[in-house]
Every structure is written in structure tokens, then in C-alpha cells.
Amino acid sequence: MGDGVSRARGAIAADAAHADPALWINRLPDDLILAREAILLAEGPQGRPLHGLTFAVKDNIDVEHQLTTAGCPGFAYLAQRSAPAVERLLEAGAILVGKTNLDQFATGLVGVRSPFGTPRNVHSAEHVPGGSSSGSATAVAAGIVDFALGTDTAGSGRVPALFGGIIGLKPTIGSIPATGMVPACRSIDTISVFARDIATALRVHAVMAEFDPTDPYSRRAPHAHLRRPALPPHVRVGIADIAGLCCAPQEAAYRRTAGLFDTAEVNIAPFLEIARLLYDGPWVSERSAVLREVVETQPDILHPTTRHILQGGLGRLTVDAFDAFHRLAHARRLAEELFTRIDALMLPTAPYTPTLAELDADPIGPNARLGTFTNFVNLCDLAAIAVPTGLGADGLPTGVTLIGPAWSEARLAMIAARITGEDLPPDPLAPDETALFCIGAHMSGLPLNSQLLTLGGRFLRDDRTVTGYRLHALGNRPGLTRAAGGASIAGEGIAGEVWSLPTAAIGALLTQVPAPLGFGTVQLETGPCLGFLAEAEGVAGTRDITALGGWRAYLAEFA
């Protein structure tokens, strides 16, 4: 707002131009929106990170003194307090515009399961907008608000982002308090963020992220997971064989986007199998448990498709649930191992964009297909960000989703920025971090890099030592030593990477480093830095590879 532009008036004008009453369940009056902006203008930014940005809230999230309907008028209640996530956004200076439509009780990926109508897809009125966060995604895609809150259990924060051609950030489960949100599957739900750029999505997530002791599924972040790293030169992206799973435009966009990275083929069959459990396993019963009283005593207030799904969850057997839990534990272990080998898994966000006519003919089938690449993500406790990749030959948006382990949102965002072309600078070294110079298997793309990432490591930059160091091959890792007496060595020094680590984690990493390696001060071209060093006695008789200039060069020649 400091540039004299009224975002509130812009939101009101854009909403009038878009003219879609099915987008909102409760759009705030113009005078209230403008009054909020006037107060913020008078106060000034005061360090508030979202000062003057406009936003919308999916109507299964509480806003004080507003009805929460969850897309079901017969269920509606007046919220006495805003959800903590909403409170933090307002404290950060954001301007609420209204509450948006959704697939009833967040049950669906299509956006048509609402008694309040179907929000219009901004790219094609003949196609679904995607759900369940249909109104939130559409409000951003139509340029009405700067960002919007959705929720995501099976892909509701990602699929409508694809169909709107916008960003959909699905945070780590438990990183944002779920208090004040009507649950779908309480154990795997999360509030999600829609925005038109990655930086805004991250900024909004950072404002909302906190541990909430009143939320039994809230989790303490193991490190400052939203600090942005620099993008390493050796990013490893896993890709899958998607032949026959997607429409031609989505498949073409996926293959084209994969060309931006060094890729590794990944077998996603175990994850696709787990994905099917979300609507054919105990998590259907978890949805039913939340609304058991409604399903059993007031089924007529439910949308017919929602009622069909929820009633089906009441009769499932507990013994089958344990079979599903064991299969899920296996899939989670596979995911854990997978992300020691790759930095992100890239998949199409959804196979295709169904038409409204297809949903009229078959309310269930297209919805199930839309969850092909999204349903497993929350089940496997992963983070994800959906990004647009342009328009396909059919004129509809294409997009991919980058998936990583829990607490990897910032790293995924930096990889995503390579796809969108967004200029997303890394965060500088923080006071509670220590820079560490790595010269071997801990570098990006190499086998021990996952040790750094698990401890909250962030790539900062490529660097190299000054002359005066020797590098030795110690089997599967190198040893760096200072030249005896500080003698000068011809060459350009030893190449490596500087990573930041939480200072409190340095000791934990050191316990994983075998003798004769340890840490000491290394003189880099950019100045002194803590780094990997070897004891001189420990490298006696080993191969001197100094002339190669670094471990990667050694691997390229001899591995």
C-alpha cells in the first residue's frame, strides 16, 4: 500500500469484474474491507510482513463473528474466535475479503460438490475449477485477492491451483495449527496457501507456522525450515514414467519441465497404491467419524455425493484398517529412503482437467482420477508445492508438483522457482547458524548430503580453498589437509560447497564423521570458514588427488 495503490479497492473491482456469485459463501461488505485498509494505512507497516495484502479464507476455517458452513448450510455455526492461522494473518496486516466456496466438508477434488454452486474456472467455463478449495483458488487465479487459504487432505490445495494456473503450497502436516478448521481427515489435514508467486506463498506460510499445544496434531519444527537456501548446482529431481496416466498436454509439459533438471527415474507404483487407500481405506472412516452424528441423524442436509462417501465409511472393518496402516508404514519407509537419493520428486499435479459434463455423467470417477498424484502425499507425511508450467495445446493450464520430505518447503520452493523463473533470493546466514565448508560426500547430490538436510542444512554457495591445501582419496570420501609448513601449492585451491547448519546441530553432525576426519578452520577464497579437515597421520600413504582440484573431479575420472 506504500505505493499509493489501494489493494482493497483493487480486490473489490476485480471481484465485480469477475462476477461469479458461486465463488463466495460470505463476501464481506465493501465498507468493512475499505475500513480495514484505512486503519492499516493510518498505522503504517510497523514491520508487519503482510501489510495491506488481501486474502480469502476457505469456509471450513473459522473467522470470528462469521458463519462457518463447510459448504453445508444445515451444519453452519457462528465462530466465536478466528482460527489461530487467520488471527496471525490479520496481525501481520492482511485484509480479509471474504470466505470462499468449497466441496462440501472438503470432500472432493472437483469443486462441484457444493449447494452454493460451482465457482467458474477462470480459463474455461466448461471445465471444473478443482476442489475442494475451489473458491479460494479461483479468487487468486481471477486476480481478486493476493493470497487465499485452502485446506489439503488429498490434494485440495494443489489440484485447484493447477486448474487456476497458480501456486499451491501444501505445508508439512502440523506445521500450521489446525485449531478452528473443520476437519476432513483430522490426522492428515493441513491448511494450505494459494498465491500467484512462490515468495508470497512462503511468506504467508511463515506467518501462520507455529506450534499449537491445543492442537494434538501440531508439531514443533525441527529447525528453521522456511529459511530459503541457495539452489545447489547439482539438484537431483526424481521423475516417473507417466505414460498413459495423463492427457497429452499434461504429459508434454511434464517431460518438458523435467528437462530443467538432472533427473533420476523413480518407481512410484508403491505410492500410487497407497494413494488409492485414501478413498478405499480407513481414512474414509476417519472422514465419517468427524461427521458421524450428521451422517446418522441428518443425512438429508448433505450433498448427495458427500453423503454417499461418508455413509460408506461407517461400515468399514477395523481389521482392514490395520492392514492399511501396515502398508502405509512400508510406503513411508520407502519415501524416507527415496529422499536420501533425490532432492525432490516431481509429478504432474493432476492427470487432466475434467469438464462439468463429465462430472454430471459420473460424479465419482473423474474425482478419483484427479487424486492419482496427490492422494499419497499427506499419507506419507510429505510437503509439496504445485506450480504452473504454462498452457497446453488445449488452452488449459498445465503444471507440476514438487514433493519432498516433511519440513522441506523452502527447498522445494527454490527448486520450483527454477520452473517458474521467479527471482527468489536465498536467505543470508542467520545468527543461530554456522557456515560449514564441505569437500566430499556431504556436497549436493552426493550420498551423505541427506545428513545435512536432515539437520536443517542449507546450501549457501560454491567456494574453494586458497592454495596451501592437499586433498587425499580415503576410499569413499576425501581428506583435506594443510600442506606441511604452509607451503604453497600450484593451482586454484580445492573446490567445495559452503552449507549453513543450525549451530546447535554441528555436534550432531560431527558424531557421524569417522576418523581421521573432523572439523577445523579452512581458509577459503571468501575468508575463513569451519570445514572438514583430516589429521595428517590419517592420510599417510593414501592417494594424493590435489591436482584434480576437488572430489567431484575425482569421481568423474575414477568412480
Q: Are residue 147 and residue 268 in the same domain, yes or no?
A: yes
pLDDT digits (tens, 9 = 90+) for 356-386: 999 999 999 999 999 999 999 999 999 999 9
Measured CA to CA in angstroms, residue 285 lies from 247, 313, 320, 368, 446 at distances of: 32, 4, 11, 17, 42
Contacts of 208 (CB under 8 A, 6+ apart): 84, 85, 88, 89, 176, 177, 191
Sheet with 458-464, side-by-side order of all strands: 458-464, 495-502, 433-438, 527-534, 517-524
Classify residue 1: in a domain, yes or no.
no
Q: Are residue 448 and residue 375 in the same domain, yes or no?
A: no
Mean pLDDT of 198-203: 98
pLDDT at 486 over 70: no
pLDDT digits (tens, 9 = 90+) for 499-521: 999 999 999 999 999 999 999 99
Contacts of 557 (CB under 8 A, 6+ apart): 548
Give the residue numbers marked as catalytic.
58, 132, 156
Range of the domain at 525: 433-558
Domain count across the chain? 2
Classify residue 6: in a domain, yes or no.
no
Peptide bond into 216 cis (omega under 30): no
Mean pLDDT of 188-211: 98
Alpha-carbon span 463 to 252, nearest angstrom: 37
Classify residue 3: in a domain, yes or no.
no
pLDDT digits (tens, 9 = 90+) for 522-549: 999 999 999 999 999 999 999 999 999 9
Question: Which CATH number is 348's domain given?
Answer: 3.90.1300.10
Question: Which CATH number is 533's domain given?
Answer: 3.10.490.10
Measured CA to CA in angstroms, residue 160 lies from 138, 140, 399 at distances of: 8, 11, 11
Q: Residue 286: what pLDDT?
A: 85
Q: Are residue 416 and residue 444 in the same domain, yes or no?
A: no
Q: Which of 371, 399, 420 lies at the terminal end of a domain, its last residue?
A: 420
Q: Are residue 116 and residue 265 in the same domain, yes or no?
A: yes
Classify residue 466: in a domain, yes or no.
yes
Contacts of 51 (CB under 8 A, 6+ apart): 1, 40, 45, 92, 93, 94
8 A C-beta contact, residue 489 and residue 542: no
pLDDT digits (tens, 9 = 90+) for 327-351: 999 999 999 999 999 999 999 999 9
pLDDT digits (tens, 9 = 90+) for 440-470: 999 999 999 999 999 999 999 999 999 999 9
Measured CA to CA in angstroms, residue 372 lies from 167, 252, 279, 348 at distances of: 19, 17, 11, 9
Confidence class of residue 485 from pLDDT cuts 50, 70 and 90? low
Q: Residue 310: what pLDDT?
A: 87
Burial label for 282, CB within 10 Å (0-12, 13-18, 19+), is buried
Lowest-confidence region among 48-57, 276-285, 414-423: 276-285
Burial label for 269, CB within 10 Å (0-12, 13-18, 19+), is exposed
Q: Are residue 366 and residue 279 in the same domain, yes or no?
A: yes
Classify residue 300: in a domain, yes or no.
yes
Q: Residue 512: what pLDDT?
A: 95
Q: Are residue 391 and residue 318 in the same domain, yes or no?
A: yes
pLDDT digits (tens, 9 = 90+) for 261-307: 999 999 999 999 999 888 877 888 888 888 888 988 998 989 998 89
Classify residue 184: in a domain, yes or no.
yes
Q: Are residue 391 and residue 303 in the same domain, yes or no?
A: yes
Lowest-confidence region among 52-61, 482-491, 518-527: 482-491
Q: Are residue 458 and residue 378 in the same domain, yes or no?
A: no
Alpha-carbon span 84 to 70, nearest angstrom: 18
Classify residue 472: in a domain, yes or no.
yes
8 A C-beta contact, residue 277 and residue 324: yes
Alpha-carbon span 323 to 339, nearest angstrom: 25
Q: Are residue 338 and residue 448 in the same domain, yes or no?
A: no
Q: Which of 420, 443, 470 lies at the terminal end of a domain, its last residue?
A: 420
State CA 548 to chain mean position distance. Answer: 39
Question: What beta strand segments (E) does 6-51 contain?
Answer: 24-27
Within 13 A of 416's CA, how many CA atoms are on the CB side?
30
Q: Are residue 354 and residue 475 in the same domain, yes or no?
A: no
Across the chain, mean pLDDT equals 95
Q: Residue 489: what pLDDT?
A: 53
Classify residue 4: in a domain, yes or no.
no
pLDDT digits (tens, 9 = 90+) for 138-167: 999 999 999 999 999 999 999 999 999 999
Q: Length of the chain in residues, anyone?
A: 559
Mean pLDDT of 399-422: 98
C-alpha cell at 34: 475499505
C-alpha cell at 96: 480479509
Tell me if residue 442 falls in helix, strand or coil: coil
8 A C-beta contact, residue 45 and residue 56: no
C-alpha cell at 328: 502405509
Q: Are residue 397 and residue 492 in the same domain, yes or no?
A: no
Q: Which of 389, 420, 451 lies at the terminal end of a domain, its last residue?
A: 420
Q: Are residue 164 and residue 45 in the same domain, yes or no?
A: yes
